[in-house]
Structure 1
């Protein structure tokens, strides 16, 4: 019966009228939309019907439709061509169902999918037809395509256009991953860490980056025992940090200051006219953090978001700088007999090693406190870094100012049951950890 909901949603999206879906809405169903860049909520059938025409994409031709089943319902990805002269419009609909009825309906905008067309040149000549879009989370502005070399080897091609990529604009990325490959940096990564990039090409509006298809290795990492996978991943990134300590490998690296501001409370305004998903949700993320965090802690974090000078200076003094992956988390890692494949070096930085660790910790350990304690123990054994060291405390504060703690709190509090979310215990742990970090490091509001 619940499968009928998808057909009803599809019909109502096509017609622009809230007619069929109303029979599967509870009287107190929450319809939540981020289309405007602000969170708007409507409760019940009447409010949904009244606001539906302003929420849906329009009645143009449907060009894409897919459904992913989750334990708590469905995630529906839909794109429509509104008019011949405009870009397609895309939305992600999350439906939380209880006993076959919709309890919570969330609508996010998303950057439109695009045809699998690559510029002519050296990379295109390497590839056999057909080329198709590669399924990925689409959070940045880069486009990914599935392709094959003439030898039959599957590859993924990333089409990086900095002017169209909100993360690239935010971090002044000229094509960072391609440049690191061209300069030979990715070829010198220490075992067991490696990059899947095998070729790059400069094109008029950006870069083409060809990578081995390591999807099987990524699935292996996700299915491995979390403790074992975490220990392997941390040992690999520690080898990276050790090799490049004190060495600035490239002028193209992201600055720690730009990385800090990526998810700034101002980002939704800077990306107001864009359609990317993540910037549209950030206002709500920060509001949730301010609501649930201790007022003194949220005030300190938001104050540093306004002026991070003292934090950045303290962090620079607390530990030596090295090459950072910048987005070192399970979603970007693969596990093979040869070691760890690290994907997506677009946020690679020059900064303290502990930043990579705290980012991994916040993305990999979403259940009990023992998960986080285990990873801290592994990191301490690898590096000699005490979990309560000044550098570690500053890294925790850095990630809070960046918005990561706010994200964990918002996801734990707001994500519907049955969909991926950090546990309440995880959110509480990070809020306690942040409180203790501020207690130990003291006032960071002014440079010292």
Structure 2
């Protein structure tokens, strides 16, 4: 049974048969025949269809499709993912996008079907080491970015104002250390965009549910937030979820004392802490619990890095 300290990364998946019929027809037309098997894949937060399909002729594909209900924001996110997936070069360890389209208010992406699994939870150290090595290699391959992309400040700017927002909000129940240092945290957070600047193409939303493992490859999936940032950004942003899901504490995996990292961590922590205090969005029943749990880990890391009392 999951708790708020280890909540699942899961949304309300839409069964294939509930996808708009014209979307299903378009997918069948692209794949060249009727669908005879549709297996919903778990993991991830979007209230959308995520299915492995097989046609009568045996052709396979992985399809993601989302409509305007129950969460209209998901359509914009999938539209961004479609744009980014179409632009990613082959050097990115991501499944190949076969086609994508918008129809009847739905955004659909059709990928090659990869025989792979998510990392085991709680994290196994051998799998974590594989993933961290793959991220290091991916960062090197994508520095400088091979495609045009917005900066991380442009993509996350409206979201990474958690501590500054809390200055003007109800802070009841806030961690005592955070409350005591709220003004300083807001000031530290304000410099995060400059601190995170870089020319590396980053994923910007890495967690175990966005990673797939085969016997010899690590795939990184779901790229709607792709942007330009410092080469260490993905690792820093991912580590709170690693510890929350049974892996080592962040400081054991990343010990660079660079003040820029601390400023970015402050922004990430403020985001998790404040978002975790909000109401659950439509169709995303576990998102806030997942953010709260990451916020607990990130805050402990931030306390260690700042040394503030």
Relative to the length of structure 1, the TM-score reads 0.51
Residue 160 of structure 1, CA deviation: 4.3
Counterparts of 2:109 and 2:182, CA distance in 1:
40
- Which of 259, 264, 269 is 2:156 aligned to? 259
**1:431 is the counterpart of 2:299:** yes
Q: Is the 8 A contact 1:118 1:124 kept in 2?
A: no
Q: Which range is displaced more, 195-204 or 253-262? A: 253-262
5 Å matches for 1:381-400?
A: 386-400=255-269
Counterparts of 1:225 and 1:140, CA distance in 2:
23
Residue 399 of structure 1, CA deviation: 0.8
Equivalence for 1:238: 136
**1:136 is the counterpart of 2:33:** no
Residue 430 of structure 1, CA deviation: 3.6
Equivalence for 1:310: 191
The one-character-per-residue Cα deviations of 1:140-192 (angstroms, maximum 9, x if unpaired) are 354323421454254331114589542565xxx47233223323x24232xxx
Q: Is the 8 A contact 1:260 1:399 kept in 2?
A: no
Where 2:244 maps in the other structure, the secondary structure is coil
**1:323 is the counterpart of 2:201:** yes
- Which of 195, 200, 204 is 2:99 aligned to? 200
5 Å matches for 1:37-436?
A: 70=1, 113=14, 115-119=18-22, 123-125=27-29, 126=31, 128-130=34-36, 132=38, 134-137=40-43, 139-160=45-66, 165-166=72-73, 169=76, 173=77, 175-183=79-87, 185-189=88-92, 194-204=93-103, 205=105, 207-214=107-114, 217-219=116-118, 221-222=119-120, 226-247=124-145, 249-251=147-149, 253=150, 255-262=152-159, 288=173, 290-301=174-185, 303=186, 310-316=191-197, 320-366=198-244, 370-376=248-254, 386-403=255-272, 407=276, 430-436=298-304
Larger gyration radius, structure 1 or structure 2: 1
Distance change in 2, residues 1:137/1:203 (3 Å)? same
Residue 226 of structure 1, CA deviation: 2.3
More relative contact order in 1 or in 2 (CA 8 Å, sep 6+)?
2
Residue 365 of structure 1, CA deviation: 1.5
The one-character-per-residue Cα deviations of 1:392-422 (angstroms, maximum 9, x if unpaired) are 21221121132269759xxxxxxxxxxx989
Counterparts of 1:213 and 1:404, CA distance in 2:
36
Distance change in 2, residues 1:207/1:434 (3 Å)? same
Counterparts of 1:367 and 1:202, CA distance in 2:
35
Distance change in 2, residues 1:131/1:175 (3 Å)? farther
Distance change in 2, residues 1:151/1:326 (3 Å)? farther
Relative to the length of structure 2, the TM-score reads 0.70
Q: Is the 8 A contact 2:211 2:221 kept in 1?
A: yes
Query: Which has the larger strand fraction?
Result: 1
Counterparts of 1:403 and 1:428, CA distance in 2:
8
Q: Is the 8 A contact 1:196 1:343 kept in 2?
A: yes
Equivalence for 2:282: none
Counterparts of 1:228 and 1:134, CA distance in 2:
28
Where 1:353 maps in the other structure, the secondary structure is coil
Residue 234 of structure 1, CA deviation: 1.4
Residue 322 of structure 1, CA deviation: 0.7
Distance change in 2, residues 1:265/1:433 (3 Å)? closer
Counterparts of 1:404 and 1:248, CA distance in 2:
34
Alignment RMSD, CA only? 4.2
Residue 340 of structure 1, CA deviation: 0.2
- Report how many residues are paired: 279
Distance change in 2, residues 1:225/1:133 (3 Å)? closer
The one-character-per-residue Cα deviations of 1:241-280 (angstroms, maximum 9, x if unpaired) are 11222336134x57434335448669xxxxxxxxxxxxxx
Q: Is the 8 A contact 1:367 1:422 kept in 2?
A: no
Residue 358 of structure 1, CA deviation: 1.5
Where 2:191 maps in the other structure, the secondary structure is helix
Structure 2 residue ranges without an equivalent (≥5): 164-168, 278-288
